[in-house]
C-alpha cells in the first residue's frame, strides 16, 4: 500500500524583501509516513519544522521537490482547505485559540470542516456529537464558547474539529507546548488513542523531546532545513550518531537531574544564517568532530541500522565516544515502578508521565532481554 504521505527533495526558500537573497528554510528534505504511524520532526528553533508542515498542507508552495498524498502529487493547486482533499488532511496548532473563532459556539466550530461535505444537517450533528465523545468532552460543551474552556479543553475541541472529517493525516505543530503538564499528558494519551482507533498518520512537530519519545515511531532530526539523522525513535534516542542529535538529546531537561544524558562533548560556536548558508555540513561551525572536508561537502546518507540513517563523515568516531543510553526510557521506567508500588496515579507529582505506549512497551521487553 502507498504511504499516506511522501515528501521528496523538498526545498523552500523565502525571498528577502528588497534584495535578491533568500532564506533557505528547507534544503532537500525527504520522508514518508504510513497509515497509523507518527513521524516526528525535531530540531532547534528555525530548523524548518513548521515550514515543512506548511508545505505538506499546501499553505506555502514548495520551491522545489514534490509532495504526494495517497500516491497523488499535490502539485501547486491543492491545499489543506481544498474540497478536492475532502478533509483527508488536517492540522492542529500549538495555540488552540488560533483554530477556534472566539465568537462561534464550540458545536459550530467543530462542524465547520463538514460544511463543504455531503452530509445533511442531522448527520453533521450526529458526527459532531460522536467526535466530542471521542475526545472525552461532555456534550453540553457544544453550546459554550472557547473563552469558557480551559486550554486543555480548547485543545480537545481543536482535535475534535481536526478529526471530524475522518482525516488520514494530521499535522500537529507543537500541539502540547501551550499546556500545563497534566493537560499535556492527557492530550498525548488522547492523540495516541485516536491513532490506535482510527489509524491516522501523524506528522508531529515538537521541541519537547520527552513528548516526542512517547509518541513517535520514527524521528527526523533537522538543522537549518537539512535532515542530519533519522530513524526508528528508539534507535535515535538510544544511540544517536550525529553530533547534533547527541547535543540536542543532552540539552533536554528531564524531570530528574540525575538522569541527564551523559556526553563527552558540547556544541559551541555560531549558528550560520539561513540567508548565507555554508556549502558543506551546516554544523561545521559548531562541531568538535569537524575535519576539512566538512566545510566543502554535505555528507551523503549512510545507513547505520535497519531504520537508522545519518549524514556525518565521522559518525563512527561519535559512536566510539558515545555509549548507548536512553535516559527517557530510564525515567519512565523509574516513574512506572513508583506508580506500580503505590498502586495509584498521583497526578500532582507525576503529571506528564503517561504509561509507555504499546510500541514502546515492546522496546522495553527487548531492552530487558539485552541486559
**Which residues make up the interface to ligand SF4 (CB under 6 A)?**
243, 281, 283-284, 287, 289-290, 294, 299, 312-314
Burial tier of 153 (Cβ tally within 10 Å: 0-12, 13-18, 19+): buried
Stretch that binds Mg ion, among 48-56, 90-98, 160-168, 300-308 (CB under 5 A): 48-56
- Residue closer to Mg ion (CB basis): 41 or 128: 41
Among positions 24, 50, 155, 211, the unique one binding Mg ion when judged by CB under 5 A: 50
- Residue closer to ligand SF4 (CB basis): 42 or 312: 312
- Residue closer to ligand ATP (CB basis): 20 or 323: 20
- Residue closer to ligand ATP (CB basis): 49 or 161: 49
Contact 7, 56 (CB under 8 A): yes
User: Min. distance of Cβ 245 from ligand ATP in angstroms?
Assistant: 15
Q: Which residue lies nearest Mg ion, judged by its C-beta?
A: 50
Q: Report CA-CA distances (Å) from 257 to 50, 238, 323, 355.
A: 30, 18, 19, 21
Please choose, from the candidates 286, 175, 305, the residue with its C-alpha nearest in 3D space to the C-alpha of residue 223.
286
Task: Centre a 10 Å sphere on the Cβ of residue 9 and count the other Cβ atoms it contains.
Answer: 12
User: Min. distance of Cβ 222 from Mg ion in angstroms?
Assistant: 11
Instruction: Go through 265-282 and write b for each residue having 16 or more CB atoms within 10 A of its CB, e for each that does not.
Output: eebeeebbebeebbebbb
User: Min. distance of Cβ 324 from Mg ion in angstroms?
Assistant: 30
310: left (phi over 0), alpha (psi -120 to 50) or beta: beta
CA distance 350 to 356: 14
| The length of the chain, given as a count of residues | 371
Instruction: Go through 24-43 and write b for each residue having 16 or more CB atoms within 10 A of its CB, e for each that does not.
Output: bbbbebebbbebebbbbbbb
The listed partner (ligand ATP, Mg ion, ligand SF4, none) that binds 24, CB under 5 to 8 Å by sort, is none
- Residue closer to ligand ATP (CB basis): 10 or 191: 10
Residues 49, 54, 57, CA angle at the centre, nearest 5°? 130
User: Min. distance of Cβ 169 from ligand ATP in angstroms?
Assistant: 18
Site string for Mg ion, 20-39 (x = CB under 5 A): --------------------
Contact 224, 48 (CB under 8 A): yes
- Residue closer to ligand SF4 (CB basis): 26 or 312: 312
CA distance 63 to 247: 30
The listed partner (Mg ion, ligand SF4, ligand ATP, none) that binds 274, CB under 5 to 8 Å by sort, is ligand ATP
The listed partner (Mg ion, ligand ATP, ligand SF4, none) that binds 206, CB under 5 to 8 Å by sort, is none
The listed partner (ligand SF4, ligand ATP, Mg ion, none) that binds 48, CB under 5 to 8 Å by sort, is ligand ATP
- Residue closer to ligand SF4 (CB basis): 6 or 322: 322
- Residue closer to ligand SF4 (CB basis): 117 or 278: 278
User: Min. distance of Cβ 365 from ligand SF4 in angstroms?
Assistant: 33
- Interaction site with ligand ATP (CB under 6 A): 14, 23, 25, 43, 45-51, 207, 274
Please choose, from the candidates 312, 317, 330, the residue with its C-alpha nearest in 3D space to the C-alpha of residue 367.
330
Task: Centre a 10 Å sphere on the Cβ of residue 177 and count the other Cβ atoms it contains.
Answer: 14
The listed partner (ligand SF4, Mg ion, ligand ATP, none) that binds 46, CB under 5 to 8 Å by sort, is ligand ATP
Where along the sequence are the contacts to Mg ion (CB under 5 A)?
A: 49-50
Amino acid at each position: 500500500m502507498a504511504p499516506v504521505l511522501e515528501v521528496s527533495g523538498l526545498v523552500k526558500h523565502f525571498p528577502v524583501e528588497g534584495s535578491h537573497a533568500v532564506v533557505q528554510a528547507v534544503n532537500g528534505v525527504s520522508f514518508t509516513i504510513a497509515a497509523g504511524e507518527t513521524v516526528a520532526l525535531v530540531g532547534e528553533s528555525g530548523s524548518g519544522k513548521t515550514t515543512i508542515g506548511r508545505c505538506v498542507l499546501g499553505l506555502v508552495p514548495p520551491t522545489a521537490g514534490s509532495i504526494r498524498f495517497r500516491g497523488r502529487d499535490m502539485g501547486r493547486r491543492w491545499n489543506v482547505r481544498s474540497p478536492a482533499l475532502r478533509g483527508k488532511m488536517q492540522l492542529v496548532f500549538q495555540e488552540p485559540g488560533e483554530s477556534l473563532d472566539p465568537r462561534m459556539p464550540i458545536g459550530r466550530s467543530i462542524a465547520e470542516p463538514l460544511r463543504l461535505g455531503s452530509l445533511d444537517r442531522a448527520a453533521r450533528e450526529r458526527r459532531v456529537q460522536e467526535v466530542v465523545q471521542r475526545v472525552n468532552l461532555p456534550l453540553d460543551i457544544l453550546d459554550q464558547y472557547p473563552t469558557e474552556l480551559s486550554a486543555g479543553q480548547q485543545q480537545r475541541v481543536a482535535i475534535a474539529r481536526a478529526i471530524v472529517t475522518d482525516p488520514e493525516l494530521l499535522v500537529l505543530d507543537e500541539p502540547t507546548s501551550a499546556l500545563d503538564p497534566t493537560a499535556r499528558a492527557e492530550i498525548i494519551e488522547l492523540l495516541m488513542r485516536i491513532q490506535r482507533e482510527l489509524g491516522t498518520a501523524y506528522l508531529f512537530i515538537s521541541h519537547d523531546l520527552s513528548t516526542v519519545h512517547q509518541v513517535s515511531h520514527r524521528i527526523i532530526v533537522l538543522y537549518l532545513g537539512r535532515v542530519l539523522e533519522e530513524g526508528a525513535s528508539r534507535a535515535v534516542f538510544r544511540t544517536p550518531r550525529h553530533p547534533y542529535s547527541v547535543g540536542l538529546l543532552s540539552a533536554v531537561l528531564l524531570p530528574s537531574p540525575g538522569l541527564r544524558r551523559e556526553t563527552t562533548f558540547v556544541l559551541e560556536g555560531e549558528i550560520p544564517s539561513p540567508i548565507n548558508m555554508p556549502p558543506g555540513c551546516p554544523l561545521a561551525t559548531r562541531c568538535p568532530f569537524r575535519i576539512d572536508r566538512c566545510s566543502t561537502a554535505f555528507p551523503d546518507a549512510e545507513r547505520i541500522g535497519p531504520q537508522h540513517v545519518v549524514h556525518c563523515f565521522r559518525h563512527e568516531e561519535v559512536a566510539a565516544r558515545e555509549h548507548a543510553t536512553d535516559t527517557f526510557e530510564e525515567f519512565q521506567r523509574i516513574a512506572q515502578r513508583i506508580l506500580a508500588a503505590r498502586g495509584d496515579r498521583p497526578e500532582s507529582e507525576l503529571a506528564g508521565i503517561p504509561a509507555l505506549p504499546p510500541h514502546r512497551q515492546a522496546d522495553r521487553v527487548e531492552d530487558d532481554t539485552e541486559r
